[in-house]
Amino acid sequence: MPGRTPGAPMDLSIITVNYKMKDLIEACYKSIQSAAPALQYEIILVDNNSEDGSAEYFQKHWPDVTVIANTDNAGFARACNQGAAVARGDMLLFLNPDTEAPHGAMEAMVDFLRNTPDAGVCGPETRNIDGSIEPSVYRLPTLKRTAVDCLGMNKIFAGYEVRDYEPLTGRPRVEVICGACFMIKKDLFHKLGGFDEALWMYGEDVELCYRVLRAGFHCHYLDDVQIIHKRGERHLQEDAFHDMERIAYSHYKWIFYYYEKHCSVLARSVLRSLLWTSVYPKLVARKRRAAGGDTSRDNVSRIKALKRVLDEFILRRRHT
């Protein structure tokens, strides 16, 4: 199935991380056939111990796909690095399994990175199933931006531009490309050490983009290239809640980790105060719901996660 001519250089390695998304991945892979018709590419699937036969299914029915079967849920960052370690393409595309790409999308991304020496990362416009645009570019965290988010002032500051047009290419330069469809030059990825595996889930795209920019490269948003992101379909299923505590905890962990790694002691101190105003009220509200009879797995898991965030990162107490 992958576009492959024996002996030809490999243009692109497409890496997908799977956790119980077998049906969605199959639709994604079928779309790739039209998204990259002229490319020499390979597909690498890293299965995070889905326990639903995903790894065995793709080994049997998609023999041209390289399957890495983990014995635990390694998380997104480590699984991506596993895929990149065996990749042979000049470019790496980290692609969510719940995405579909239209004709020529991947060719356009590869051509852009190949022909733009100072570009390190690029990503497309992302649309929801209903055709609406899903945010897929962001700014790096700063105290001002974190304060706007934590203090609920997003509407006041809504509309401040997240992109700057690059005069030579005419393509928007941004600070962060969303990891749902994230293409990077392989040499640069390995030079920077890949995704930071201290982040199990969330924020690994932000943190890597910071290092890409520090290395003197740019991140570009290709607003004339589109993919569809079926975001949330898997998480609507009942079994998605089994790991909600870890997911909710990781949602906050990455921002503290980012500040710890890249920001000053003063900034980290201010961050703790800001996040208190966000985390503590949510914990109180969740506990009230529990006292009122909401003992659902979702609510109980979120209470545990919020308490852990409060203890570890804000009050700086060791979690037990």
Same domain flag for 47 and 171: yes
The CATH number assigned to the domain holding 206 equals 3.90.550.10
Number of domains in the chain: 2
The domain boundary, picked from 234, 259, 280, lies at 234
Residue 91 belongs to a domain: yes
217 in the same domain as 127: yes
- Within a domain: 3: no
Identify whether residues 135 and 245 lie together within a single domain.
Answer: no
Give the domain-ending residue among 234, 266, 296. 234
Return phi, psi of residue 41, to 5°.
-140, 165
Same-domain pairing of 178 and 271: no
**Total length of the chain:** 320
Same domain? For 274 and 126 the reply is no
Task: Tell me: do 57 and 124 sit in the same domain.
Answer: yes
17: in domain: yes
Does residue 97 lie in a domain region?
A: yes
Tell me, yes or no, whether 6 lies in a domain: no
Task: Spell out the per-residue pLDDT of the chain, length 320, in tens.
Answer: 555 666 568 999 999 999 888 888 988 998 888 777 788 999 999 999 988 888 999 999 999 999 999 999 999 999 999 999 999 999 999 999 999 988 889 999 999 999 999 999 999 999 988 888 888 888 898 888 877 776 665 554 444 445 454 545 557 889 999 999 999 999 999 999 999 999 998 999 999 999 999 999 999 999 899 998 887 545 444 444 457 788 888 888 999 999 999 999 998 888 888 888 888 899 999 999 999 999 988 899 899 999 998 888 877 765 44
Q: What would the pLDDT profile of 270-315 be if each residue is shown by its tens digit? A: 888 888 888 889 999 999 999 999 998 889 989 999 999 888 887 7
Q: Phi/psi of residue 264, each to 5°?
A: -75, 165
Q: How far is 178 from 92, CA to CA, in rounded Å?
A: 14
Instruction: Please give the Cα distance from 182 to 178 (Å, whole number).
Output: 6
23 and 166 share one domain: yes
167, 60: one domain? yes
Q: Does residue 4 lie within any of the structural domains?
A: no
- Write the CA distances from 285 to 70, 292, 302, integer angstroms: 37, 11, 11
Q: Is residue 293 part of a domain?
A: yes
3-state secondary structure of 131: coil
Q: Long-range contacts made by residues 133-138, C-beta under 8 angstroms, separation at least 24?
A: 134/229, 134/231, 135/178, 136/177, 136/178, 136/180, 136/181, 136/221, 136/229, 137/162, 137/163, 137/172, 137/174, 137/175, 137/176, 137/177, 137/178, 137/221, 138/162, 138/174, 138/175, 138/176, 138/178, 138/206
Residues 193 and 137 in one domain: yes
The range of the structural domain enclosing residue 215 comes to 12-234
18 phi and psi angles, rounded to 5 deg: -115, 135
Domain assignment present for residue 5? The answer is no
Q: What is the sign of the dihedral through the CA atoms of 262, 267, 273 and 275?
A: negative
DSSP string, 260-307: HHHS-HHHHHHHHHHHHHHHHHHHHHHHHHHHTT---HHHHHHHHHHH
Question: Is residue 282 located within the same domain as residue 203?
Answer: no
Distance from C-alpha of 108 to C-alpha of 103, rounded to nearest angstrom = 10
Residues 216 and 290 occupy one common structural domain: no
Shared domain check, 293 and 243: yes
> Three-class SS of residue 243?
helix
Could you read off the pLDDT of 241-252 as tens digits, one per residue?
A: 457 788 888 888
In this prediction, residue 156 carries a pLDDT of 46
Contact status, residue 208 vs residue 192, Cβ threshold 8 Å: yes
